[in-house]
């Protein structure tokens, strides 16, 4: 617990985790939740600016310690409540009156053996543990423990609902430092493409409150990226002149030293590294283009360090070890996509397979499905032409881990691994991890030797 996980990318995030700007993953719920635990989510580029602005506003107005509650009217049906319940890991809804004052709580247990057209007020149980916004997480934990309750309700002076907190949420609030902007609000980033009016879109998102702007394209080392970066910088500088807030510009994706140098010289503060390692990406199999992620991160991080800049390692994260390796290789933060898709907080709809297992659908951002979304404003002919070309999986089932169904559960899993990695290397922070770590090549049999066995080998 003495290990400092503050990111080395200039953002000083409480944890070095960035949620990928994938439509199936990153939205308001994900942005709020990851920011409370110290990371940051990047909202996708394929969303209209006005919608992004509303999303940013909602994230910024969310509680920074307490979790956002799922609310219903007491007259809503149980079916409606059950539909909303999976949107948050605490699996409860709070019935509120017209003024936002909590009246009762409902969980799945109250809905068992009850007609789905019954109303929430018929099955909800009364709120027993209420706290103020100033109540410390430890005090919330102790109150829940004393009352044998699962959920505490935070209210303001007028008894209006602020948020909720579970016992595990209380514990997490004492471990993680929220990612907050200068005004004490949750941080959130936005991605924009390199086509179209980059300067106008960047300025609009900055004015909406975006804390990071990511210029994102599958092939970041191209002339259009080099041309787009100065336009984003002009928007950033104009915004900074009025607000005195300097927002970092991220650009990518690339995998070579030369590409990192070119993007930094064009104005990027952070360079996004990774071509082909993502779970939804078919680029390497279709094109032969790409590079093993660890090799790319080592080379690109060293190049960025020469300029006093940093990189984000984007893709290829399946286990906590992959995050530790990327940080040991010099990454300032690590971007995660598909692993977070199968969580309560991702944007997808919760579905069930024939065996009753819960999952969400994920898809690549260069897949036919994503291209169709991206070109919805074009003519039918233009959309049909674009749909012929795709790189990426259009539909993949990302099952919820029964033990870790929420993104916070995965954050616990990842950060505990990274903390332990640091102690093995004798590092008290991530900068020391990159300095002290000794990395060697490993054969497939050596890797397999390190995998745990769920059953006996005899």
Q: What angle, rounded to 10 degrees, do the helices at 293-306 and 320-328 form?
A: 30
342 is in an annotated binding site: no
47 is in an annotated binding site: no
pLDDT at 392: 59
| Within-domain flag for 446 | no
276 is in an annotated binding site: yes
**Residue 69, both tokens:** 């509650």
Residue with tokens 């819960």: 358
217 is in an annotated binding site: yes
One domain for residues 238 and 190: yes
One domain for residues 354 and 276: yes
pLDDT at 32: 97
| Within-domain flag for 1 | no
User: Bridge-partner residues for 314, per DSSP?
Assistant: 335
Residues of the chain with pLDDT under 70: 363-375, 390-395
pLDDT at 380: 84
pLDDT at 87: 86
One domain for residues 342 and 396: yes
| Within-domain flag for 3 | no
**Full strand arrangement of the beta sheet holding 161-166:** 130-132, 151-155, 161-166
pLDDT at 390: 67
| Within-domain flag for 112 | yes
Taking a C-beta distance cutoff of 8 angstroms, is the pair 323, 421 a contact? no
Burial class (CB in 10 A: 0-12, 13-18, 19+), 438: exposed
One domain for residues 395 and 305: yes
Q: Which residue in the list 118, 190, 281, 422 is annotated as catalytic? A: 281
**Full strand arrangement of the beta sheet holding 351-352:** 351-352, 358-362, 396-399
One domain for residues 121 and 184: no
Q: How long is the chain?
A: 458
Q: Of 158, 127, 160, 157, nearest to 144 (Cα)?
A: 127
| Element housing 419 (H / E) | helix 407-425
For 443, residues 6+ apart whose C-beta sits below 8 A from its C-beta are none
Under DSSP, the state recorded for 4 is B
216 is in an annotated binding site: yes
Taking a C-beta distance cutoff of 8 angstroms, is the pair 13, 7 a contact? yes
Total structural domains within the chain: 2
One domain for residues 378 and 279: yes
Q: How far apart are CA 333 and CA 214, in angstroms?
A: 14
Three-state DSSP at 381 gives helix
278 is in an annotated binding site: yes
The CATH number given to whatever domain includes residue 96 is 3.10.580.10
C-alpha to C-alpha distances, 256 to 272, 296, 303, 315, nearest whole angstrom: 11, 6, 9, 15
One domain for residues 370 and 330: yes
pLDDT at 368: 60
For 171, residues 6+ apart whose C-beta sits below 8 A from its C-beta are 137, 141
pLDDT at 405: 93
| Within-domain flag for 58 | yes
**Residue 150, both tokens:** 């699962």
| Within-domain flag for 11 | no
Residue with tokens 């286990």: 319
One domain for residues 144 and 204: no
C-alpha to C-alpha distances, 349 to 22, 123, 390, 396, nearest whole angstrom: 15, 25, 24, 13
Q: How far apart are CA 315 and CA 342, in angstroms?
A: 16
pLDDT at 282: 81
Q: Which stretches within 37-164 are classed as H helix?
A: 49-60, 78-84, 108-111, 137-147
One domain for residues 59 and 75: no
How many Å separate Cα 350 from the centre of its chain?
18
List the end-to-end C-alpha distance of the chain, in Å, as a whole number: 38
Of 166, 193, 212, the position where a domain reaches its end is 166
| Within-domain flag for 296 | yes
pLDDT at 454: 81
One domain for residues 350 and 435: yes
One domain for residues 430 and 312: yes
The CATH number given to whatever domain includes residue 330 is 3.20.20.70
169 is in an annotated binding site: no
| Within-domain flag for 21 | yes
Name the CA radius of gyration of the chain, rounded. 23
Domain that holds residue 110: 71-166
Would you call 281 a catalytic residue per the annotation?
yes
Strands (E), 97-150: 102-107, 130-132
For 231, residues 6+ apart whose C-beta sits below 8 A from its C-beta are 198, 199, 202
One domain for residues 90 and 39: no
pLDDT at 139: 97
């Amino acid at each position: 617990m003495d290990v400092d996980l503050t990111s080395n990318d200039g953002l000083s995030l409480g944890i070095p985790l960035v949620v990928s700007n994938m439509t199936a993953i990153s939205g308001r719920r994900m942005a709020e939740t990851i920011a409370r635990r110290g990371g940051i989510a990047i909202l996708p580029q394929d969303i209209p600016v006005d919608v992004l602005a509303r999303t940013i506003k909602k994230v910024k107005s969310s509680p920074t310690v307490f979790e956002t509650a799922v609310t219903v009217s007491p007259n809503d049906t149980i079916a409606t409540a059950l539909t909303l319940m999976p949107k948050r890991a605490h699996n409860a809804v709070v019935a509120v009156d017209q003024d936002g004052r909590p009246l009762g709580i409902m969980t799945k247990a109250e809905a068992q053996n009850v007609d789905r057209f019954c109303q929430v007020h018929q099955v909800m149980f009364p709120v027993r543990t209420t706290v103020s916004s100033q109540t410390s997480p430890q005090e919330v934990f102790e109150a829940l423990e004393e009352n044998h309750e699962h959920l505490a309700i935070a209210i303001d002076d007028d008894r209006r609902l602020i948020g909720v907190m579970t016992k595990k949420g209380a514990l997490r609030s004492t471990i993680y430092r929220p990612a907050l902007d200068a005004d004490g609000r949750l941080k959130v980033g936005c991605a924009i493409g390199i086509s179209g009016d980059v300067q106008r879109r960047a300025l609009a998102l900055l004015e909406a409150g975006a804390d990071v702007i990511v210029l994102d394209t599958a092939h970041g080392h191209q002339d259009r990226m080099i041309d787009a970066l100065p336009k984003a910088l002009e928007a950033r500088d104009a915004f900074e002149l009025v607000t005195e807030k300097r927002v970092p510009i991220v650009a990518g994706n690339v995998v070579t030293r030369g590409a990192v140098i070119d993007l930094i010289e064009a104005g990027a503060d952070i360079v996004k590294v990774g071509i082909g390692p993502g779970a939804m990406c078919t680029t390497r199999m279709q094109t032969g283009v790409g590079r093993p992620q660890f090799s790319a991160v080592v080379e690109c991080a060293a190049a960025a360090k020469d300029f006093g800049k940093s990189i984000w390692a984007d893709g290829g994260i399946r286990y906590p070890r992959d995050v530790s390796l990327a940080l040991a290789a010099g990454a300032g933060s690590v971007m995660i996509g598909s692993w977070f898709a199968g969580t309560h907080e991702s944007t997808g709809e919760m579905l069930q397979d024939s065996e009753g297992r819960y999952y969400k659908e994920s898809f690549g951002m260069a897949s036919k499905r994503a291209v169709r979304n991206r070109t919805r404003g074009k003519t039918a002919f233009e959309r049909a032409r674009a749909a012929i070309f795709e790189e990426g999986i259009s539909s993949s089932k990302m099952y919820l881990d029964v033990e870790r169904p929420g993104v916070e559960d995965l954050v616990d899993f990842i950060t505990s691994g990274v903390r332990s990695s640091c102690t093995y290397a004798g590092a008290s922070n991530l900068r020391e991890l990159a300095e002290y770590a000794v990395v060697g090549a490993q054969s497939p049999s050596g890797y397999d030797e390190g995998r745990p066995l769920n059953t006996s080998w005899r």
